[in-house]
Amino acid sequence: MADSAVVTATELIVVAIAIATAATVTMMPSWIGSQIELSCVRSVPRRPLFKAARAASTSRAAIEGTGAHALAELCLRHQQDPTVYIGTTLEGVEVTDEMAEFVRLFVEYCQKLPGLHFIEQQFSLAELNPPAPMFGTADFVAVDYDGDSVPGQRILEVVDLKYGTGVVVDVNANKQLRYYALGCFLGLPARVRELIDRVRITIVQPRAAHVDGVIRSEELSIAELIDYTNELMDAARATLEPDAPLVTGSHCRWCPASGLCPAQQEAASLAAQTDFSVLPPAPPPVALVPIPQLAEWAGKFHILEEWISAVRARLVGELEAGREVPGYKLVEKRATREWADAGVVEQWLRTQGYAGEDIFVMKLKSPAQVEKLVGKKNVPAEYVVKQSSGTKMVSNEHPGQAVAAGPAVDFAALTAGEQEN
């Protein structure tokens, strides 16, 4: 490592240009992603057959995520607070108080990072000569090769916004983010690449609870990144093998082949057959089944749920594309009533003698909106509380912090309330 090397202003500009133009390959459908491919290499060549079938059935969560990422990009590019966009529509999603507040955590973290900043940074792994185009886009990249972030260390940091709530994403050994980090590292000019000591990958997931917090990071040495590179390239080459295995697991949830994969079909079939084989022909009520048995069945739910979800998504996609599905049809969801033109309705109500509180509902602005008004630091911390939306059951492997529940907890809360009174 050339610690004594001096980077000139000209080279600084070269770094920015080189990173910004790193992804020069034709943006073909990528055969190689990250986590799924390393776990199940045979799924890769099957995907072009399935992507079109699943494209029509984008989930609400995915749409919200797209809107949140669009909001984050705008705020980072224009140095704005997310609350500026409350009430506007981005990528078909209305920016709510909640979205603005959550995205702000990501924006503020990124803005505080030292070094050069790159937003929605495209990259290519063409330098590694993969068997097919390998590329991607990182949400945010900070290149600090002057060592400002940690004394004596020059760091490339890749930050990823995870807006979802259904799956709590762990940063440790995260293959997707290592893939991003590798691509961004290779996008650096060779001279600057030699100056980088470590790579940091960071996940910001503001809507999902994790024992390590909503912002969590992992650092890798360059040697560890090289080890991952070898693993990735081995998996990439394995995709060309005709007898490559199909391997089921949690990665199936995001695979475009989900619902049509024979290995997934077999796993779902086995889960349905073996888990319930202990029951008699007429199963007893669930209340009479021992808890250990129920827990064992619950451990297989995800296999069946992922299969059922994939099948449903495929059929909905077919119907929405105008193709017939035997025994099924599309119908309108329950409609909600709203004013066709609020301005016209307001004028009409005024002619009827109504105005003010008769036709308008006034409420206090949200914490995010008030912070925009008076400044976040000026709002007393005790004025803002976070209200839980409830609990959900997950396996013990889930990184979220377990919460106490039951009669004892309820009684303790009741006792505390009585003492306060």
CATH class of 9-238: alpha beta
Q: What's the pLDDT at 52?
A: 45
How high is the mean pLDDT of the chain? 77
Q: What string of DSSP letters covers 181-230?
A: HHHHHHTS-HHHHHH--EEEEEEE-TTS--TT-SEEEEEEEHHHHHHHHH
> Does the pLDDT of residue 415 top 70, yes or no?
no
CB atoms within 10 A of CB 392: 10
Per-residue pLDDT, averaged over 154-178, amounts to: 89
Q: What is the predicted pLDDT for the residue at 146? A: 75
pLDDT for residue 414 is more than 60: no
Instruction: For residues 387-409, give the mean pLDDT.
Output: 66
**Which of 369 and 221 is assigned the larger pLDDT?**
221
Helix axis angle, 262-275 relative to 301-320, nearest 10°?
A: 130
In whole angstroms, give the CA distance from residue 51 to residue 28. 13
Residue 344: pLDDT over 60: yes
Q: Taking a C-beta distance cutoff of 8 angstroms, is the pair 336, 346 a contact? A: no
Confidence of residue 274 (pLDDT cuts 50, 70, 90): low
The mean per-residue pLDDT over the stretch 94-112 comes to 94
C-alpha distances in angstroms, 109 versus 96, 158, 177, 297, 365?
20, 12, 17, 41, 25
Which H or E run includes 137? strand 135-144
Q: How far apart are CA 205 and CA 5, in angstroms?
A: 37
Instruction: Give the residue extent of every domain in the chain.
Output: 9-238, 258-320
Name the least confident of 20-34, 131-145, 224-238, 384-398. 20-34
Residues contacting 293, CB < 8 A, separation 6+: 278
Please compute Rg for the chain using Cα positions.
Answer: 26
Query: Do residues 254 and 51 lie in contact, with contact meaning Cβ atoms separated by under 8 Å?
Result: no
pLDDT at residue 15, as a whole number = 43
Residue 104 has what pLDDT?
A: 94
